Homo-oligomer: A and B are copies of this chain.
Amino acid sequence: MNSLRQFTRRKALQSLAVPPSQGFSTIRLWQRHFNSTPAVASRLAGIDPSKLTVTKTSSPKELTPAKDLVFGKTFTDHMLAIEWSASNGWDAPRIVPYQNLSLDPSACVFHYAFECFEGMKAYKDNNGQIRLFRPDKNMERLNKSSSRIALPTVDGEALTQLVGELVKLDSRFIPSARGYSLYLRPTMIGTQSTLGVGPPGSALLFVIASPVGPYYPTGFKAISLEATDYAVRAWPGGVGDKKLGANYAPCIVPQLSAASRGFQQNLWLFGEEEYVTEVGTMNLFIALKNKETGQKELVTAPLDGTILEGVTRDSVLGLARERLAPNGWTVSERKIRMSEVAEAADEGRLIEVFGSGTAAIVSPVRNISYKGKMVDCGLKEDEEAGEIASQMKNWIEGIQYGDEDHKWSYVL
């Protein structure tokens, strides 16, 4: 586990493809910043589930009726908390009653956005078993995020096990109906109390859990998007592909701006070519027919650093390659211009468009406002979802709730 931390941090540096050393001496500053030579670092403790302590609440909450659940508003009785310091590594994990965090006002999370998170869910299956969906992907991404902002990494299996303990303890909060789940939010914040800008000397990893209902309680509802070409969410060489807090606050004003004109979300275009990247907080999939060959193609933007590596995106791609490709579909991770989408719509070649994310699984798109015109995304007037989106939702939900036995489902 120590070595994983070391490795990932080093990898984060290496992945920046820096020029070779100029023969300058000194890892002096590096050492000062980390307060640890490699020798010290290797003695740092990893996350150790065997050291978990559990303090149960003395005042259990009343359950919110399932129909009244609002995303991320109510939380379970407990939370998981693990402290980290640059000198000692990870402290013993604790499950404690859900409670406020008490932090010095100079804590670096308040000033320099040392924070990253994950979004995942726990599901109750028909046999009352609790399941996670591809937790390994979340852990992998958490480490990519944290190491990019000089926060520690975690042993993914150890953290998954501890998340499982929290979920089992609070399992009464998971409604037993299809579409319901327990949303889990692993979060890591820098806690060092100093205004100096440098790598945090201490951090807190916590996991909170919020029972949630189906995103579309009465069936799909296709959304309208506004293509945003005046503000930029992410760029090559930046951090738009990491799940950092830093990527979220700046998106709100453009989103409100789109909302003020009646659009549910904005679609981020990138560059002069106006490449389609992401929708609000979802990845985007476009199903269209090839102009020349008529070949059906499911397209999503490639992982070039400007889009988030969505777990649902990866799941849609995997299922499409497994289950759509044999039926004549091409599945592509490639750059696609907004003008190409608009042209396909004009020529009747746009089959359907949908967003993908943990909250909704898939979110069908009715139309996209682009350069003063509405691009119709292929749904019939009385239709709220296309065939691919509907299939994907059924396939993924079937795995999440254990109807289908699949390696992506992780029984606790």
State the A residues within 8 Å of B (CB).
12-13, 16-22, 24-30, 33, 70-73, 75, 79, 98-106, 109-115, 117, 147-150, 183, 185, 187, 189-190, 194-199, 206, 208, 210, 224, 230-233, 235-239, 244-254, 256-257, 259-264, 280-281, 369, 371-372, 374
Contacts and interface: CB of A to CB of B under 8 A. Distances in A.
Nearest to A239: B250
A385 B392 CA distance: 64
A17 to B, nearest CB: 5
A99 to B, nearest CB: 8
Contacts of A230: 16-19, 237
Contacts of A246: 113, 244-247, 249-250
A13 to B, nearest CB: 5
A18 to B, nearest CB: 5
B98 A101 contact: no
A257 B224 CA distance: 43
Given A16-B254, A105-B187, A248 B30 contact: no
Identify the 7 closest CB pairs spanning chains A and B, nearest first.
Answer: A72-B195, A24-B262, A232-B237, A113-B245, A29-B259, A112-B248, A246-B246
Given A17-B230, A101-B102, A252 B185 contact: no
Given A16-B254, A100-B103, 19 more contacts: A22-B261, A24-B263, A27-B260, A29-B259, A33-B259, A72-B106, A106-B208, A109-B109, A110-B115, A113-B113, A113-B248, A115-B249, A148-B253, A150-B253, A190-B249, A197-B280, A198-B252, A199-B256, A246-B246
Given A100-B102, A149-B253, A111 B260 contact: no
A12 B253 contact: yes
Nearest to A207: B105
A75 B110 contact: no
A189 B16 contact: no
B232 A236 contact: yes
Contacts of A149: 249-250, 252-253
A121 to B, nearest CB: 12
A405 to B, nearest CB: 31
A16 B257 CA distance: 9
Contacts of A236: 232
A109 B30 CA distance: 29
Contacts of A187: 105, 110-111
28 contacts: A12-B253, A13-B256, A16-B253, A18-B261, A19-B372, A20-B372, A21-B261, A22-B261, A22-B374, A26-B262, A72-B196, A73-B196, A100-B104, A106-B185, A106-B208, A109-B109, A110-B245, A111-B117, A112-B249, A113-B245, A113-B249, A149-B249, A150-B256, A190-B249, A197-B252, A199-B256, A233-B238, A235-B235
Contacts of A206: 105
A238 B235 contact: yes
A195 B270 CA distance: 27
Contacts of A20: 372
Contacts of A27: 259-260
A71 B30 contact: no
Contact of A250 (B106, B109, B238): B238
Nearest to A116: B249
A209 B26 CA distance: 34
Contact of A148 (B71, B109, B250): B250
